[in-house]
Amino acid sequence: MGADLVAESADACRLFEMADSLTGLPITRLCAEGPLERLTQTDVAQPAVVVTSLAALAVLRASTPLEFGAVAGHSVGEYAAYVAADVFDAETALRLVHVRAQSMAAACQSVDGSMAAIIGLDEEPLRSACLTASYDGSSVEIANLNAPGNLIVSGERGAIDRLGALAREAGARRVLPLNVGGPFHSTYMRPAADDVGRALDDLALRRGRIPIVVNATAEATQQPEALRRELAVQVYSPVRWIQTLRALAGIGCDRFLEIGPGNVLAGLVRRTLPDANVASFGSMADLPAARELVAS
């Protein structure tokens, strides 16, 4: 993950070295060599995703005239989006992500929690099922609204098990347990949100150079204080990605470029906005398609 970017670009190499230094973790080596079991653990995965996204952004900016109309980031991806909008620099993003990742990993130790994908059920019946499944101090919530018919729930395992049966009764086609480190974007992450909030307290954020559509509200903002609140609140709030994409379309975005590892978000754009032009850039092999999209 990101190895070819490092080989191609001194800027990408510098960003990975910065991630290693700021986190005290071998992010560069783990991204290039694994093992996958360690790379996907929360404390490593979050800075790894962000630094790969920042490296891809640096490579793309060096090779292609690039002007964004607006930006958004899915969950931890918001940190890279803030850098793209010049709210803060890459070093600040990586410092904050390290706090977020460490704090979320610690919060996961306090609960036997996980997440599950619910396929083929709309938001309101799923929300109702979550309320029914949550009792005796064991809760489950909608965590990600990724695309129509593709929603993610998060919570304590017992509540997720109860929710699975209720979701099927309500019409869900599939309930798929996810192999994740804990109940992200749920009330169980509030202690981590407090840590992120404290890390942000004395930090100067700039006004966004372009609009950022934020996860928790799916509203566009450039205001520093709204952006500051978002980074804490989003830790335990649902990622409203369907609404985020529709908000971007509503302010005139019709070309969507996913910058970072993989192409999952590009697929979600296609499902939510079928008429949009979409490409991904996370490795050098993606560069021709990204340039074509930008130039179109």
Task: State the chain's mean pLDDT as an integer.
Answer: 97
Nearest in space to 102 (alpha carbons), one of 181, 32, 1, 180: 181
Catalytic hit among 185, 186, 237, 280 = 185
Are residues 88 and 37 part of one domain? Answer: yes
pLDDT band at 296 (very low <50, low <70, confident <90, very high): confident
Are residues 204 and 93 part of one domain? Answer: yes
C-beta separation of 48 from 39 below 8 A: yes
Are residues 218 and 153 part of one domain? Answer: no
For residue 205, what pLDDT is reported?
97
pLDDT at 202 over 90: no
- CATH number, domain of 218, equals 3.40.366.10
Residue range(s) defining the domain that contains residue 172: 112-182
Are residues 148 and 91 part of one domain? Answer: no
Active site residue 63: no
pLDDT in tens, 60-94: 999 988 899 999 999 999 999 999 999 999 999 99
Structure tokens at 21: 């230094």
Are residues 46 and 59 part of one domain? Answer: yes
Active site residue 185: yes
Are residues 92 and 164 part of one domain? Answer: no
Query: Residues with Cβ < 8 Å from 108, sequence gap 6 or more?
Result: 42, 181, 182, 183, 188
Domain count, the chain: 2
Are residues 95 and 9 part of one domain? Answer: yes
Catalytic hit among 9, 53, 75, 134 = 75
